[in-house]
Structure 1
Amino acid sequence: MNNSVMLKKATYHLWTFTISKLIASFGSQVYSFAISFYILQATGSAKSFALNLICNVLPRTLAAPFAGYIIDKYPRKRIAIISQIAATLAIGGLLLVSVTYGLSLTAIYITTCILSLTSMFSSVAFTSSITGLVDEARIQKAMSLNQMSVSFAAIASPAVGGLLYGVISMPLFLVLYMTASTIAIILEATMKFTLFSNSKAETEEKPKESMWQAMSAGVSYLKLQPILMTIIWIALLVNFLFSAYQVGYSFILIEKLKMLSTHFGFTEGAFAVGMLLLSIYLSIRKEIRFPLLISKRGIILMGVIMGGATLPLLFSLSYNVMFGYFIILQLGLGACIVVINTPTQVMMQKQIADEFKGRVFSLVETVAMALSPLGMVLYGFLYDVFPAEWVLLLSSGVFLGVVLTLLRPAVIRKVHPELAVEQTTKKRAEAF
């Protein structure tokens, strides 16, 4: 296959991947909205609702390391398609139960667990295959379009879900989700996951290595990559400390500042809008030269926003000013998430050997989520005992300290040595 044909195929992959991701994400989030609404209406129990959330998080956290092994061992296209088929069948099973016996919480929880697992397998398989699907020059564009699809789905799905839930029955709702999932399967089947891959990992199975040996090899590979270990430590600690904002945000706005539910919904939507806008920007601009430096700045701004959320608690603001202030904070926070994640993911795509990508990306996901539940429990307790502003301000200070320590200038220069050369050249030019 000549270069021009490969580039045309890569362009096809770029848009097919985006459309497939948009359809799958949109269907998944509309389904989540409708099922959550159904559980609350049917039971009126916060515990039943929370249990469904746990069914969505826990299975993927526990299975992620094993998923990495499977994704590195077997063809990733096969895994992505099988995962999407399994998701479609799970929804079909829930549809059959709802028509035959009526929806039950047990059936919903089982379906949520299956969808959590299939989503994780599909996501890691695609993330591990980006360098095989598109040319190196457009990796940032691919990652940005992926994020853009997720952000757009996050913005539109509550409105669409609310509209459909009030108009159509749950069985018809599930039929529409199955249809969307089937379209995603068809699109994925037309893609060549090894278009730019130099590795044989996609085309050959390697049965000689046991699962534990392969997982150990993935951990050993990580230990030999200092920058990847730094990213993992940052993901672990930042996600843990950011739980202070995740828990405190709703508590502060609803309990302390008495914001109306509709206005609170607008501030939540602003977060997704911020992500969408930055994703669009990164998809059309040239690749970021110093990704870790840009990510560092994004994380610092994220820490500042955390602390900034306490301002209406420390100073008296009018309701409208407070509402506008939190809209701006959430827009900025959504933008920060994209600025942090996209350049880092592009750098990891280029640095990680293809045969280890599944294991590395799944380990990063596992570690990033590992302390979040603990953080939410801890901060839930702290907000009940101590003033919210001091909990958030102290957490913000520790957050910034962690970032400035782990991503100190020496670490940045080690990852981007050309940055030090550029800064030296600039100083010399200024001297003259």
Structure 2
Amino acid sequence: MPIFSSDLGKDFWNYRLGQVVSLLGDSCSHIALAWWILDKTGSAVEMSSVLAPAMVVRIFLMPLFGPLADKYSRKAIIIIADLWRFVFTGALAAMVFSNYYDTYVVIALFILNSIGSALFQAAAGGIVPQIVPREKLQIAAQQTQAINSFAGILGGVAGGIVVSTLGVFGAFLIDALSYVLAAWSTNRIQSNTVPVRKEVPQMKAAFHQWTQDFGEGFKLLFKIPVIFWICIVAMFLNLAFAPLGVILPVLAKEGRNMPPWFLGALESSISLGAIVGAVTIGYVNKRIRADLLTVMAIAMMCVGTMVLPWVPNVALPLTVLFWIGIGGTWANIPMNTQIALAIPDAYRARVGSIMGFLCQGISPLGLAAAGVIISSFGLTNALVAMGGIGLLLTPLMLLIPNFAKFMSAPPEKADQFLLEYYPEAFGSSGDLSSQGTQPLQE
């Protein structure tokens, strides 16, 4: 698979490259935030108290924003979200510049920033199928994963170097400016990104229409058990892995007594593994059934998490996280592609945001408990428990009705799979074939 394919069109690259810039900034900001909190407080519990509330807000707002992204231009929504995040990341930079740290102010600004992230994610799930041809969605998904992983590698390295040389302020400032560049790049998209949907009577009030759209998204997902149960299993897997966001900074700074560049290197190793996973997924998918590959890949992540605390020195933890990155990509690309192909455009943002809500709905509990778990049981026991719980949950994927058939459906028949197995899902809201996922061109 080529990493860069020009036949995906200028719109894809305008959008994707803008988000790459944003991801680079986010990597700097992520390392900066962890280092700032640990420097000021030395407490993993304090880090959890900052990250968990923002995650709760983001997760719960995603399904609420979904109807907006199924009604209005997704390009416009993404631009608004990026500019929103620019404002509040800039406010964090101003705090650091003023040498002012207050936990409650940091929590408040991080929560406000997460509102923009929720708005972005609600729209981002539906825009790519609108700006690339349907038959190239698999390639777009693979290249998105590979490109984002390149950004993760560069971001991890750059973030560690930036925090080490320019400090926390420099990292936050770079992240804030990256949102402006991302908004400018997204604005260059020429395709019409207003979703295809049936006209609604003008007399309906906007709030009533929003509540109807919101309810339809949930009803649709509940009527498609294969996707609903994927979300439920993923919910508990994400709960098991949620503490990793706190554990890695603590492992780097407190466990190994390393500078910020080591945390950046750990995150870069995951991204490097994700690139290898994206490049090899086509080869592996031809030899291993998609449902079995998904389960195997999740198990790879669990095993890697369990052995992470046992590997000595500096190089071996990087190798383990590289392995985890491969597993994450092999699990995510097949599932994300099938779901993107199967869900009609008029429902894609709503269903995607509700899926995000279900998949991550209880993750804040794991993130909030991370500091207490580390303090009470230590890094080693925490990581072993995370991986072990994940291994116990992984085989449940194979018990989901029609999971193997859904994952094996060819791209040109993915939407027909839903119509064949769950015809009642679209019976009252419109024909699936008329709400297809063909990209819109002006």
TM-score normalised by L of structure 2: 0.73
The aligned counterpart of 1:76 is 74
The aligned counterpart of 2:61 is 63
3-state SS of paired residue (1:261): coil
Change (3 A) 1:173 1:202: farther
The aligned counterpart of 1:358 is 349
Alignment size in residue pairs? 401
Question: How far does the alpha carbon of each residue in 1:271-311 deviate from its partner, in whole angstroms, 9 at most, with x for none?
Answer: 2221233234459999999544432221233334345457x
How big is the shift at 1:228? Answer: 0.7
Change (3 A) 1:201 1:16: farther
Question: How far does the alpha carbon of each residue in 1:22-48 deviate from its partner, in whole angstroms, 9 at most, with x for none?
Answer: 111112222333344445445666565
**Cα distance in 2, alignment partners of residues 174 and 387 from structure 1:** 30
The aligned counterpart of 1:403 is 394
How big is the shift at 1:370? Answer: 2.0
Tell me which amino acid in the other structure corresponds to 2:131: L
**Cα distance in 1, alignment partners of residues 168 and 257 from structure 2:** 29
How big is the shift at 1:348? Answer: 0.6
Select 1:139's aligned residue among 115, 137, 151: 137
Conserved in 1, the CA contact under 8 Å of 2:230 and 2:400?
A: no
**Cα distance in 1, alignment partners of residues 375 and 43 from structure 2:** 22
Tell me which amino acid in the other structure corresponds to 1:200: R
Select 2:197's aligned residue among 195, 200, 209: 200
Greater displacement, 333-342 / 60-69: 60-69
Conserved in 2, the CA contact under 8 Å of 1:141 and 1:282?
A: no
Question: How far does the alpha carbon of each residue in 1:95-145 deviate from its partner, in whole angstroms, 9 at most, with x for none?
Answer: 67778x775546544432232221222233122121111112222232233
Determine if the alignment matches structure 1 residue 127 to structure 2 residue 122. no
Select 1:88's aligned residue among 86, 92, 96: 86
| Residues 23-34 of structure 1 aligned to structure 2 (within 5 Å) | 23-34=21-32
**Cα distance in 2, alignment partners of residues 391 and 246 from structure 1:** 12
The aligned counterpart of 2:228 is 229
3-state SS of paired residue (2:197): coil
**Cα distance in 1, alignment partners of residues 373 and 35 from structure 2:** 29
Change (3 A) 1:253 1:282: same
TM-score normalised by L of structure 1: 0.75
**Cα distance in 2, alignment partners of residues 168 and 392 from structure 1:** 32
Conserved in 1, the CA contact under 8 Å of 2:122 and 2:349?
A: yes
Question: How far does the alpha carbon of each residue in 1:214-254 deviate from its partner, in whole angstroms, 9 at most, with x for none?
Answer: 22211110011122112111211212233577777888999
| Residues 214-225 of structure 1 aligned to structure 2 (within 5 Å) | 214-225=213-224
Change (3 A) 1:168 1:283: farther
For structure 1, the residue ranges without an aligned partner over 5 or more in a row are 1-6, 420-432
Q: Which is greater in Rg?
A: 1
The aligned counterpart of 1:187 is 185
Tell me which amino acid in the other structure corresponds to 1:301: M
**Cα distance in 1, alignment partners of residues 176 and 252 from structure 2:** 37
Change (3 A) 1:164 1:271: closer
3-state SS of paired residue (2:189): coil
The aligned counterpart of 2:109 is 111
| Residues 330-341 of structure 1 aligned to structure 2 (within 5 Å) | 330-341=321-332
The aligned counterpart of 1:371 is 362
Greater displacement, 107-116 / 89-98: 89-98
Change (3 A) 1:250 1:112: closer
Conserved in 1, the CA contact under 8 Å of 2:225 and 2:401?
A: no
3-state SS of paired residue (1:301): helix
For structure 2, the residue ranges without an aligned partner over 5 or more in a row are 411-442
Tell me which amino acid in the other structure corresponds to 1:33: I
How big is the shift at 1:387? Answer: 9.4
How big is the shift at 1:55? Answer: 4.8
Determine if the alignment matches structure 1 residue 261 to structure 2 residue 258. yes
| Percent of paired sites with the same residue | 19
Tell me which amino acid in the other structure corresponds to 1:354: D
The aligned counterpart of 2:52 is 54
